[in-house]
Amino acid sequence: MNERYFICVSGVVQGVGFRPFVYQLAVQHHLTGWVMNSSEGVKIDVQGHKEALDLFVRALRERSPRLARVDDVICARQRLGRIQGFTIHPSQRDKQVAVSVSPDQSICPECLSEMYDQHSPYYHYPFINCTHCGPRYSIIEQLPYDRGNTTMKGFDFCPSCLQAYQAPSNRRYHAQPTSCHHCGPKVALRHARGTLTTQHDQVFEQAAEILSQGGVIAVKGLGGFHLVCDATSSVSVSKLRQMKYRQRKPFAVMVDGVATAAQYVTGEPAEWQALKASAAPIVLMNRRPHPELVPEVACDRPYLGVMLPYTPLHHLLFEQYRRYRSEPVLVMTSGNLSGMPLVTDGDEMLRLFGEALDAVLDHDRPIANPCDDSIVHYAGNTIRVLRMARGYAPFSHHSDYQGAPIVAMGAQQKSTIAMALSGQSMLSPYIGDLDDLDTQQRYEKTISLFQHLYQCEPSHWVCDYHPGYFSTQSAHTRSGGILPVQHHHAHILAVMAEYQITDPVLGFAFDGTGMGDDDTVWGGEVLLADTQGYQRCGSLRPFRLIGGERAIREPARILLAMLLECYSLQEIRSLAHPAFQGWDDHDFSNLHQLWLSGQHSPLCSSVGRLFDAWACLGALLDRPDFDGESGLLVESAAMTAGQAEIPWEMNWADGTSLLDWKPLLIRCIESQIWLSQAAVSDACLGLIAALAGAIQQMAGRYPSLPVIVSGGVFQNRLLMDVLWQKQDEAQPIYSGTMIPVNDSGIAMGQLWYGIHQR
């Protein structure tokens, strides 16, 4: 018996080879009809024997291409018709958009093999790609995902590429960036002294030569530029740090393969798997001592960020560089000044860095949407995303939400935006800290891009409570309703969104700072939370930030404030702690008065600031160079600790809701831990163990509730490992895996709140 179905498939089904998959599936089952892309998804009109049709529909759900994600397959019976063969129709643009933009992907093994095949038309072609790999998000300008809607629209096909593009059996069927040496983008090496090299082979030869001589070059990748130098040259890496104004934050490196990576890092099987995955993120792995890797790369930190070449251009550069080093390792860091947006234009790179930059390896395929490298690490027994960008973002998933569009504006730091449409939710790539005009403009463009791609006018804008956040201020300039969400509630909601949790949870939100609902600075909160609201049932014992924001830049002020809760000013001065060495009587007196009066010294319950104080207490740093440096230093020190003889504990004071750090601090002061590196290490491990124990204590008060841990503090691997080792199967612990636990995940938490409001 014959039947006819009209089918609409939604999800990540464009730019991933879905239509040729449908075509081949239909031919295999002797079905007739057609398939086409539309803004609503992939539409299919198919007719044939019922058993074959049922197998066809089942295969759509279960055997989709490797980069596809099928959210929904809607079938409607149609009247039988006279249909000959099976064809692929031109795309259609609908009013409603139900597809998701695919993230950029690294070069696939098939394309890599062709690129090194001297008989292939793509031999040594730096932009080879197919439906399994290459740029997507970074080149798209509107949906549906067709060549005319991407930055490839200015490159006309040669006859050979057109034939491949139009053949459903070809791996490049409707792979929008399809091109070759004859018709595609071209590379060029722009020297700082003004000369230009355009001969293909010479471009890579000269770039490799510059690197071998200690130079720094800019290389245009998928979503923007990298600044690149040899990681075995102290002069080169030091020069790069000066160029970026980046003192101690570790650099990531790119190596030519897993075998080379294994000489520099060690890791769990899941870490190696993440390194080789098509998303090709930077993986933070345990650093293995290596005589050639200069200290300026990782600044003696225990981890090294490693990635593999993910574009054909990267592979060609490494091929040439192997003439100078058999196992090359290159620093690959974002092409920008620290704290500024990623640069996508070669002229802008030259303007920013001038003659300090030896050359720019450029190409003429425009980048529509900047996208930085993703960063992941292994903690709590799984791979977790720290920065969601290339390869992972835009992140989208199927949703039961069927209301009007909602946009969540995210936080001030590590900003992202999130959007909900009928049937799907999505999170943008990492944008950056909204502290400067350039990043604010990039943020506004991202909002406009998502509205344009999905042809929507949001009904509501969800934002942080904090009136000083640029994201909050931006929300209030727009038409539609405003839904404010408390920062730490949003942290908990972000994890709930990832695991689709709507019932009450016990949430621990530990981060740097966020505005509380009592006019104090929060950051060590325990919340009984659901999608409608929260109740604060615990927090870190508060202390003052002497001088407000200045205390974050000068953590000795935080340490002083905490010590003043335990000792007199004279007792503190008699300690002769190295953190206060540069202070005179006037400094101590002024800061003490600020602490007494509370003027410009808000109360703070932040665990992130507690880590600042602990790093200062152990004389691990004077002033932080980057966000989270204190936490990383405490974690690094803790990794060298032995087994402490006395258990380190931090209890909820007298059975109250305040987590009391005072006994722990007094113990450290009485033993003068800063005089011994071993004592500092023990105290750092003790702090982490005490926090884990405190979480378990509080969780024991609410045994029926699942536990959620979120916020930047939970990027600490040791803390996560301890929690996961000790968790009770009857009371599961959840934390972000795909959605970052830092402020990059705030937008998704805000969105989860927004879609559950009536």
Tens digit of each residue's pLDDT (9 = 90 or more) over 642-675: 765 557 889 887 667 999 999 999 999 999 999 9
Higher-scoring residue by pLDDT: 355, 159: 159
Higher-scoring residue by pLDDT: 151, 3: 151
Q: Band the pLDDT of 399: cuts 50, 70, 90.
A: confident
In contact, 633 and 620? CB cutoff 8 Å: yes
Say what percent of the chain tops pLDDT 70: 98
Condensed to tens digits (0 to 9), the pLDDT of residues 710-736 reads: 999 999 999 999 999 988 888 999 999
Task: Work out the average pLDDT over 472-487.
Answer: 96
Phi, psi (rounded to 5 degrees) for 36: -155, 155
In this prediction the pTM is 0.93
Q: Which of 400, 446, 443 is nearest to 420 (CA)?
A: 400
**Does the pLDDT of residue 97 top 80, yes or no?**
no
Q: Band the pLDDT of 98: cuts 50, 70, 90.
A: low
> Judging by beta carbons within 10 Å of its beta carbon (0-12, 13-18, 19+), is residue 69 exposed, middle or buried?
middle
In contact, 423 and 113? CB cutoff 8 Å: no
Q: Band the pLDDT of 144: cuts 50, 70, 90.
A: confident
Ordered DSSP codes for 319-365: HHHTTT-SS-EEEEEESSSTTSPPP--HHHHHHHHGGGS-EEEEESS
Condensed to tens digits (0 to 9), the pLDDT of residues 31-71 reads: 989 988 887 788 999 998 988 898 998 998 888 888 788 88
Condensed to tens digits (0 to 9), the pLDDT of residues 549-604 reads: 999 999 999 999 999 999 999 999 999 999 999 899 999 999 999 999 988 999 99
Q: How many residues are there in the chain? A: 758
pLDDT for res 26: 87
In contact, 687 and 614? CB cutoff 8 Å: yes
Condensed to tens digits (0 to 9), the pLDDT of residues 434-453 reads: 999 999 999 999 999 999 99
Q: How far apart are CA 351 and CA 364, in angstroms?
A: 18
Domains, the chain, with CATH or none:
2-88 (3.30.70.100), 102-184 (3.90.870.30), 187-363 (3.90.870.10), 388-539+741-756 (3.30.420.360), 543-698 (3.30.420.40)
Q: Band the pLDDT of 93: cuts 50, 70, 90.
A: low
Q: Which residue type is seen at 612?
A: D
In contact, 746 and 494? CB cutoff 8 Å: yes
pLDDT for res 173: 87
pLDDT for res 363: 97
> Judging by beta carbons within 10 Å of its beta carbon (0-12, 13-18, 19+), is residue 234 exposed, middle or buried?
middle
> Judging by beta carbons within 10 Å of its beta carbon (0-12, 13-18, 19+), is residue 447 exposed, middle or buried?
buried
Phi, psi (rounded to 5 degrees) for 426: -145, 155
Q: Which residue type is seen at 590?
A: N
Task: Work out the average pLDDT over 373-390.
Answer: 97
Catalytic residues: 19, 37
Given phi > 0 = left and psi -120 to 50 = alpha, else beta, which region is 663?
Answer: alpha
Residues in a beta bridge with 253: 306, 331
CA-CA-CA-CA torsion sign (601, 606, 607, 612): negative
pLDDT for res 599: 87
In contact, 183 and 192? CB cutoff 8 Å: no
Q: Which residue type is seen at 211?
A: L
pLDDT for res 649: 86
Task: Reduce the DSSP state of residue 377 to 3 states and report it.
Answer: strand
